[in-house]
Structure formats: C-alpha cells, structure tokens
Amino acid sequence: MISADDIRLLDAAAAALTTVLPTTSLLRAERADQHDGDATRAVVASFVGRRSADLAVVLDIVAPVSGGAGDEGARTLTAADVVQPALEAASDVLGNGVLDDARLDDATDLFADPDAAVYRLVAADGVQGWFAIRLRREPQTGERSVLGRLSRINNVEMALTVEIGHTRMSVRDVLGIEPGAVIELDRSAGSPADVLLNGRLIAHGEIVVVDQDYAVRITKILDAAEDVA
C-alpha cells in the first residue's frame, strides 16, 4: 500500500509532469484506480536517488518532431525525446538523483502494479494520456542496520578454495608417495567440484581452462539449508 505521505509526493510529481508536457492544451493529473488504455508503447524512465522510482507516460498527442530541412545534422525527435523534460520535472520532486534516458517500452506491468500511482492526464476535451509512477521499496530499519555493518568488512580478504575430491590415507601411505604416484579421490571424473569460502561450502562448479589457466565455472549456488544438509 502507498502511504499518505507518498501519495502527496507522487501527486506533486504528477502535477510537475503536466506543466512541462509539450501539449497544446493545459493538462491536469487526476488519480485513477486503474489504467484503461494500452501501455505497450509508453515512454518510460527510471530514477535513482534519495527516493528511487519507475515512471511511465502514455500520451497520444505527442508525435515525433524533425529538425528543419536546412539544419545540419538535424534528426527526428522521438516521443521519448519530447517527453524526457517532463519526466525530469516529475523526478525532481523526489529529490536529488539521476534520471536515465527515456525510452519507448511496454509499461503494462507498471500501470497494473498495485504499488504504482496511476494518473489520468486530462484536458478540457477529455483524457489525453496517462502517467504511472512507482516508488521503489527502501530497506527497512533492520536491513539498513545490517547493510551498514556489512560495509565495515568490504575490504576483508577471504580464502576461496576449490576442491575436486578427498581421500583418506594412512601415514605410511603418505610417506610412501613418490613423484609419479597416482592418488585416487572419492569423486568420479566429471563430477562437480566444491567451492568453499573460508572453509564453508557455498557452491558447486566445474573445472575449466581459461587462457591456459585453470578456473572454475559456477554451476550452482547453495543456500544455507543446502549447506547444512
């Protein structure tokens, strides 16, 4: 559910969007329970900042615009180019951050997401388009605390070990090892190798050769339950 504070923030973002959209008539943003149109060719962008969000606009009255015939290097402006400033105005309401380049994409899932706020873009003669914005979930207090603690050990080195098998030998047999001796392991050829981090099994993989060096290709990451098992 969207909190009341978030609703006020998103309403302000929608209002800011309407002031910059390149339309011939003044638009206003009205909250809607659902999107009734086609969002398969929406102008979408993502904002990363203090409050990150996904944004999408469906606006039928925006058409590609080309530069004048005499302009050197003139190119056709796409709907994404034209709507980009409006998306920037909406994202500015969210605070400091970076908005990526707008692009045409399918925003059906965004408009249908219950965590997204959906707005009709209404002019005097009716609905001219739609706007959807979804705030990304912020880590909870406990999660932020854990992430903060983990940052303290970012530069701690850990030993990653790859084991292709084991065997048990008596001391007499170990003392009898000579160059050329063959030690049989408890694992058949082609079986996955064990990947251990500081002695703890975390993954399985297969041995490969990369530029004449041995390497391990990870084939399975183990979770805690599999590790214990």
**pLDDT tens-digit readout, 19-36:** 998 887 889 999 998 888
pLDDT in the model for residue 65: 47
* Domain count within the chain: 2
**pLDDT tens-digit readout, 139-192:** 656 656 665 666 667 777 788 899 988 898 889 888 989 999 999 888 888 788
pLDDT band of 68, cuts 50, 70, 90: very low
- Percentage of residues in the chain with pLDDT exceeding 90? 36
CA distance 63 to 161: 58
pLDDT band of 64, cuts 50, 70, 90: very low
One domain, residues 107 and 188: no
Where among 135, 167, 197 does a domain terminate?
135
CA distance 107 to 132: 9
Q: Could you tell me the pTM of the whole model?
A: 0.58
Lowest mean pLDDT among 25-29, 50-54, 67-71: 67-71
Say what the alpha-carbon torsion angle 106, 84, 93, 96 is, to the nearest 10 degrees.
100
Asked if residue 145 belongs to a domain, the reply is no
One domain, residues 162 and 131: no
pLDDT in the model for residue 108: 94
One domain, residues 164 and 211: yes
The domain that holds 125 is classified in CATH as: 3.40.1550
H or E stretch including 142? helix 141-150
Above 80 in pLDDT, residue 78?
A: yes
One domain, residues 8 and 115: yes
**pLDDT tens-digit readout, 79-122:** 888 899 999 999 999 988 888 889 999 999 999 999 999 999 99
What are the two backbone dihedrals, phi and then psi, of residue 72, each rounded to the nearest 5 degrees? -70, 135
